[in-house]
Amino acid sequence: MKKDLGPATAMYPSLTTIVGAVVNGRPNFLAVAHVGIMNHGQPQYISVGINKSHYSGPGIHEHREFSVNIPSEALMAETDYVGIVSGKKTDKSTLFELFTGELQHAPLIAQCSVSMECRLYQVVDFPSHEVFIGEIVKTWADESILTEKGHIDPAKVRPLLFDMGTLSYYGLGPVLGGCWNVGKKLKKG
Ligand SMILES: Cc1cc2nc3c(=O)[nH]c(=O)nc-3n(C[C@H](O)[C@H](O)[C@H](O)COP(=O)(O)O)c2cc1C
Q: Domain-by-domain residue ranges, the chain?
A: 14-186
Taking the centre of ligand 1 as the mean of its atom positions, its distance from the CA of residue 54, in whole angstroms, is 8
Q: Distance between CA 37 and CA 61 in Å, rounded?
A: 20
Indicate if the pLDDT at residue 81 is higher than 90: yes
- pLDDT of 13 > 80? The answer is yes
pLDDT of residue 66: 98
Domain spanning 14-186: which superfamily? Electron Transport, Fmn-binding Protein; Chain A (2.30.110.10)
Query: What's the CA gap between 104 and 101, in Å, rounded?
Result: 7
Residue 116 and residue 69: Cα distance in Å, rounded?
6
For atom 6 of ligand 1, the residue with the nearest CA is 32
Q: Please compute the mean of the pLDDT values over residues 15-44 and round it to a whole number.
A: 97
Task: Supply the residue whose CA is at minimum distance from atom 30 of ligand 1.
Answer: 83
Among 11, 32, 82, name the best residue to mutate to test ligand 1's pocket (greatest count of ligand atoms within 8 A of Cβ): 32
Per-residue pLDDT at 189 exceeds 80: no
**Nearest Cα to Cα of residue 120 among 70, 62, 69, 71:** 62
Gap between the Cα atoms of 163 and 76, Å rounded? 14
Pocket test for ligand 1, best of 15, 30, 86 (most atoms within 8 A of CB): 30
Q: Which atom of ligand 1 is nearest to the CA of 160?
A: 1
Q: Give the SS3 label for residue 59.
A: helix
Q: How far is CA 57 from the centre of its chain?
A: 15
Say whether pLDDT at 4 is over 90: yes
- Longest Cα–Cα distance in the chain: 63
Q: Check residue 107 and give its pLDDT.
A: 98
Ligand 1 pocket: which of 54, 68, 164 to mutate (most atoms <8 Å of CB)? 54
Ligand 1: does its nearest atom lie under 6 Å from the Cβ of 47?
A: no
Q: In what order do the strands lie in the sheet with 161-163?
A: 14-15, 161-163, 168-170
Q: What are the tens digits of pLDDT across the range 97-155?
A: 999 999 999 999 999 999 999 999 999 999 999 999 999 999 999 999 999 999 999 99
67 phi and psi angles, rounded to 5 deg: -120, 155
**Averaged pLDDT for residues 34-46:** 96
C-alpha 87 – ligand 1 centre gap (Å): 11
Cβ of 118 closer than 6 Å to ligand 1, yes or no, is no
Which has the closest alpha carbon to 83: 175, 162, 166? 162
User: Does 33 have pLDDT greater than 90?
Assistant: yes
How far apart are the CA of 32 and the centre of ligand 1, in A? 5
pTM of structure: 0.98
pLDDT score, position 76? 98
Contacts of 174 (CB under 8 A, 6+ apart): none
Helix (H, G, I), strand (E, B) or coil at 81: helix
Q: CB of 43 within 8 A of CB of 135?
A: yes
Question: How much is the mean pLDDT over the chain?
Answer: 97
Q: How confident is the model at residue 37 (pLDDT cuts 50, 70, 90)?
A: very high
